[in-house]
Amino acid sequence: MQDVSVLALWRCLERRGAPDVYVTEFFRAHRESRPERGIVRSIVDFETKRPVIAQMIGNEPADLVRTARYLEDHTPCAGIDVNLGCPSPTVCGKTAGGALLRQPDLIRRIAEALRPAVRGSLTLKTRIGFESPDEFEALLALFETLPLDGLAIHGRTVRERYQSDVHADAIAAAVARLPYPVVANGSIVSARTALAMHARTGAAGLMLGRGAIRDPWVFADIRAAFAGERRARPTLRDLRDYLTELTEEVSREGTFPRELDHVNRLKKFANYIVSGLAGGQLREELRRATTLTQFQQSCQTHLDRDDPFPPEPEEDGTLFCGFGELVAGS
């Protein structure tokens, strides 16, 4: 979650239930790269008792090894993860992220180079293919032989980006076959969709991205659901307070040359947070906001209410697709 899985968000999540493990936005590893200071700070300055995994993206084993060694020597990260799933055309155009799924021999070289260099856990984040889910069988044969501690699988291809249903059957096949834990990812936005994903896949863990930005209470809801309990939903006023706190935390990240820069930074989060609220008026107002006053006034106008915050988006757009009939509309 580049530009959004950041320290400001993590601090807000930590106060509202928190995940069991945090994963950074990706460190770019190439010949001239040095680990980005802001991402390093998200590990070093974050006050949590939970493990933080440093994620990297790149295609040259030596550069990835150099970056991994720096991160383990200079931060308290618990492990290293390599991104094989980013569908961004810019990233894939550099033969990184999801584009690596077209080069299985390079994936092997990367994993085998990193294994002796990484002291903590070594994991990969992947999709189930580049063009077609039919590619996943060959990828599974590769992953089965790699020296990994785990694999996170986003149940879509690179071409499908975020628009298709999740291929939960592919994740289930990996769970049954691989000799290490598999974490399921893709359209988990609530306790209901988390239970559905686990039931379909039997995965050892669940990874949330966009859904956790929208609903920072979702981790507490999921834990309660697995325990057979039910938590009261936060209100729209709680959501307003979350946005207010996020505004304050973003301001702690550094100074902004213009107020508009601060507002535009907040919009990266708000695009997920208010998605699916009935009517969509708040989302449109925040998109048009150019000052913090406008941003905060819109939140106050639309969210200063005791109505429960819906656990899932009320409008099914491209942001949140589901598992076909099982959890359609999530």
Provide the annotated active-site residues. 86
Over its C-alpha atoms, the chain yields an Rg (Å, rounded) of 20
- Phi first, then psi: give them for residue 175, nearest 5 degrees: -60, -40
Max Cα distance, the chain (Å): 55
Distance in angstroms (rounded) separating the CA atoms of residues 18 and 10: 8
Distance in angstroms (rounded) separating the CA atoms of residues 147 and 163: 32
Record the tokens describing residue 114, joined without a space.
């990193």
* CB proximity list for 233: less than 8 A, separation 6 or greater: 217, 308, 309, 310, 311
Closest CA to 217 of 327, 329, 309: 309
Record the tokens describing residue 68, joined without a space.
């991994």
- Phi first, then psi: give them for residue 14, nearest 5 degrees: -60, -30
Residue 275 near residue 320 (C-beta atoms within 8 A): yes
Residue 299 near residue 267 (C-beta atoms within 8 A): no
Record the tokens describing residue 63, joined without a space.
């550069």
Closest CA to 239 of 192, 202, 283: 283
> Within its chain, how far is the Cα of 291 from the centroid?
28
Q: What 8-state DSSP symbol labels residue 133?
A: G
Residue 27 near residue 36 (C-beta atoms within 8 A): yes
Q: What 8-state DSSP symbol labels residue 84?
A: E
- Angle made by CA atoms 231, 248, 80, in degrees to the nearest 5: 70
